[in-house]
Amino acid sequence: MPTPTTNENSAHDVHGGLPIPRRATNRPVPNAELLRGWYRELVLIREFEIRCMQAYQDKKIGGFCHVYIGQEAVAVGCVAALKPQDPLVTAYRDHGHALARGMTSRACMAEMFGRVDGCAKGKGGSMHMFDREHNLFGGHGIVGAQTPLGAGLAFATKYEDEVINNGKSSRVTLCFLGDGALNQGAFHEALNLAGLMNLPVIFVVENNGYSMGTSIHRGTTQSHDLSSKALGYGIDATVIDGMNLLEVYHGMKDVVEKCREKSRPAFVDMRCYRYKGHSMSDPRKYRTRDEEAIWEQGDPIGTFEKFILDQGAITHDQIKSVQKEVKAEVRDAVEFADNSPVPPLSDLYHDVYREPWGRYTGTSEPLMYGGAMNPPTFRATREGDGLI
């Protein structure tokens, strides 16, 4: 399964990184059903993003929209290596992570359309996907801001397991970031704290070689060997080929297992490539079409498809039916989103505070003018919304 992520072709070696160790070769191949399920997820994310781009051009989706095309194997492989109860937090290129985690394509698309049936009732948008049921803690729009949050989620799972329940730390947190976040202070503070406090958090850098239009060489020191960033904080680092789903899965399995067992942070340089621009408005003038074409030859979906066909885990007919099914699902998601109502204007005032005026459990009487209060100008979270 050749991919252009090694140093063989320097003109298109956008990462300039050290060679990537191979892990999948000698590992047992997961069962066919699992492989087919992953294949469907890859295809679903790709199709979803293509339809997002169309909907954006049709002005159905507003704001910024960052699509995940090219990086699908990262989300699918990483999530496959986790347990459902493991928290996940990510940056703004988050549709793929949300879908891989189990958010329905309907809820994801409706969110982007700014409709009530969106995962956040249309209040978050493309960059802010949240899904409590699936332990997805966002979707965060500020580069690097999610890294301390990731450390905090790990702090909390460990605290719950060890301090509150007197047990053993059992969950790991997966925190995705882009290579651009490597240059933010928040990232370095998060790594220092995670290292210091032995937090079970895995920082997965989706290293697609570009932070917006700035290639990694122009923005990051030691870009050929990002593990040096982690080693400085006493955190073990791994390089994984993010264009190859089996490499992602096996590589991450090892990292997750160790993180869970030892309750120690980990860092992953996940080499990948985004085929489209940073956002929908990016003409990609900072790189050549040749470079993109070379990377497209190592397409994660094509590579995986070939592999499962070779393995006999799937037939050509089954592939066709998966593609047909996924197309139908995404078409339905777009229709669903389009038919979902816009949020009522009253929603503007919900979810600002859980308890606008605090908890009235007080026993002390105000000294004067007691009791009468002005009606609050904002309202509490709607009834039926779960409390923590």
Partner 1 sequence: MSATQEIEFRDAIRDAMSEEMRRDKRVMLIGEEVAEYNGAYKVSRGMLDEFGPRRVIDTPISESGFAGMAIGAAMLGLRPVVEFMSWSFSLVAADPILNNAPKMLFMSGGQFGCPIVFRGNDGAGGQLGSTHSWCVEGLFSNVPGIKIVIPSTPADAKALMKTAIRDDDPVFFMESERLLGMKGDVPVGDDVLLKFGQACVRRTGTDCTLASWGRPVHFCMEAAEELAKEGISCEVIDLRTIRPLDIGSIERSVRKTSNLVIVDQSWSFGSPGSEVAAQIHQRCFDDLDNHVHRVHTEDVPAPYAFNLEQEYLPNTRKICEAVRSATYNA
Distance, in Å, from the CA atom of 222 to the CA atom of 16, rounded to the nearest integer, reads 10
Task: Report in angstroms how near the CB of residue 104 gets to partner 1 at its nearest.
Answer: 15
Say whether residue 382 binds partner 1 (CB under 8 A).
yes
Q: For the chain, percent helix, then strand, then coil, each to nearest 5?
A: 45, 10, 45
Task: Report in angstroms how near the CB of residue 212 gets to partner 1 at its nearest.
Answer: 18
Report yes or no: 153 and 201 within 8 Å, Cβ to Cβ.
yes
Which residue reads 């999530």 in tokens?
Answer: 79
Task: Report in angstroms how near the CB of residue 128 gets to partner 1 at its nearest.
Answer: 5
* C-alpha 142 chain-centroid distance: 14
Say whether residue 238 binds partner 1 (CB under 8 A).
no
Say whether residue 346 binds partner 1 (CB under 8 A).
no
Subset of residues 33 to 62 that bind partner 1, contact rule: CB under 8 A: none
Closest CA to 204 of 185, 223, 226: 226
Say whether residue 353 binds partner 1 (CB under 8 A).
yes
Residue type, 336: F
Determine which residue in the list 22, 253, 258, 350 makes contact with partner 1, applying CB under 8 A: 350
Distance, in Å, from the CA atom of 65 to the CA atom of 112, rounded to the nearest integer, reads 9
Please provide the DSSP assignment of 153-181 as one string: HHHHHHHIIIIIS-S-----EEEEEEGGG
Closest CA to 273 of 2, 14, 9: 14
Nearer to partner 1, 78 or 154 (CB): 154
Nearer to partner 1, 161 or 254 (CB): 161
Phi, psi of 62 (to 5 degrees): -110, -175
Say whether residue 289 binds partner 1 (CB under 8 A).
no
Nearer to partner 1, 198 or 215 (CB): 198
Q: Is the dihedral of CA 348, 352, 357, 358 positive or negative?
A: positive
Q: How far apart are the two ends of the chain, measured CA to CA in Å?
A: 46
Stretch that binds partner 1, among 10-18, 34-42, 73-81, 357-365 (CB under 8 A): 357-365
Phi, psi of 117 (to 5 degrees): -85, 5
Say whether residue 190 binds partner 1 (CB under 8 A).
yes
Say whether residue 368 binds partner 1 (CB under 8 A).
yes
Determine which residue in the list 185, 281, 312, 317 makes contact with partner 1, applying CB under 8 A: 185
Say whether residue 378 binds partner 1 (CB under 8 A).
yes
Distance, in Å, from the CA atom of 89 to the CA atom of 175, rounded to the nearest integer, reads 5
Residue 267 makes CB contacts below 8 A (sequence gap 6+) with 191, 202, 203, 205, 226, 227, 229, 230, 235, 236, 237, 238
How would you classify residue 58: left for phi > 0, otherwise alpha for psi between -120 and 50, otherwise beta?
alpha
Residue 331 makes CB contacts below 8 A (sequence gap 6+) with 51
Say whether residue 358 binds partner 1 (CB under 8 A).
yes
Say whether residue 345 binds partner 1 (CB under 8 A).
no
Subset of residues 120 to 179 that bind partner 1, contact rule: CB under 8 A: 120-124, 128, 130-132, 137-138, 140, 142, 145, 147-157, 159-160, 162-164
Subset of residues 84 to 113 that bind partner 1, contact rule: CB under 8 A: 87, 89
Determine which residue in the list 55, 79, 100, 186 makes contact with partner 1, applying CB under 8 A: 186
Nearer to partner 1, 71 or 211 (CB): 211
Distances (CA, A) of 77 to 26, 351, 365: 17, 34, 58
Task: Report in angstroms how near the CB of residue 168 gets to partner 1 at its nearest.
Answer: 14
Task: Report in angstroms how near the CB of residue 73 gets to partner 1 at its nearest.
Answer: 27
Closest CA to 272 of 182, 180, 206, 178: 206
Nearer to partner 1, 283 or 372 (CB): 372
Say whether residue 258 binds partner 1 (CB under 8 A).
no
Nearer to partner 1, 89 or 99 (CB): 89
**Size of the residue set binding partner 1 (CB under 8 A):** 71
Nearer to partner 1, 28 or 185 (CB): 185
Nearer to partner 1, 42 or 193 (CB): 193
Subset of residues 299 to 318 that bind partner 1, contact rule: CB under 8 A: none
Nearer to partner 1, 147 or 227 (CB): 147
Say whether residue 381 binds partner 1 (CB under 8 A).
yes
